[in-house]
Amino acid sequence: MADGVLVGRVAAVLRYPVKSMAAEPVEDVEVSWHGLSGDRRWAFVRPNVPSNGVPWLTLRQRNDLNDYRPSWTEPGRPDASAVIVRTPAGARFDVTAPALAAELGEGVRVMKLNRGTFDTMPLSLITTRTVDSLGALLGTDLNVLRFRPNLVIEACGAAAFPEDEWVGRALTVGTTWIRIDARDKRCVVVNIDPVTGRRDPTVLRAITAHRETRLGVYGSTVRPGRVAVGDSVTLQP
């Protein structure tokens, strides 16, 4: 067993088979150099985007993308034919179905991404303590899914934002080693309630005012392995 200090346990493991659509909770998953197996391996591309623009269709354009629920139909096999998307109306489409792209907008098309597409780094972590602390500043409860993490950690200790202290260090989680590279700089997506789709600009304003626009942390894989709900999280010397 690796030496180090126990700092928490894994409360949830979340991957996003399709960029900006809803999370798929999993009990355990392989972690490679490119993040969680099956994470953000598909994305929808908007039409008529300038060459220097961001091509992806995201929650910035459509609040309701959280209501589209993708899942891998063959666990452990993130290949070209294994993702099904359930729409808000309850229809089920293969991710490559033209009808799904058409529902998302005229000229929208799907793209497979063998290594995933990440805004900054392939892994994101946040503690339940951090979500609760931000909610206390706002005087409300916040759903952790608003922050779209891969790993949700139930932290030990009393720090309000414990993962800040992990930056520059390595964590062992299950059989995986993860380097914590940076605090996660947030954008307007955190304003979107993942259940109702409503936008609340006070969320990002609070993160900006109290947290230098940063909440949670980004990481990268040091040693591939497997993580599972309930795994201990150990901070290495």
Q: CATH number for the domain including 198?
A: 2.40.33.20
Domain check: are 208 and 139 in the same one?
yes
Domain check: are 53 and 107 in the same one?
yes
pTM attached to this predicted model: 0.92
Enclosing domain of residue 52? 38-112
* 24 domain-assigned: no
Number of folded domains in the chain? 2
What is the model's pLDDT at position 197?
A: 92
Domain check: are 137 and 213 in the same one?
yes
Pick the most confident of 9-23, 71-85, 108-122: 9-23
What is the model's pLDDT at position 231?
A: 98
* 30 domain-assigned: no
From 52, 84, 112, the end of a domain falls on: 112
Domain check: are 134 and 230 in the same one?
yes
Domain check: are 125 and 12 in the same one?
yes
Domain check: are 80 and 126 in the same one?
no
DSSP-assigned beta bridge partners for residue 180: 219
- The answer on pLDDT for 82 being more than 90 is no
Domain check: are 151 and 108 in the same one?
no
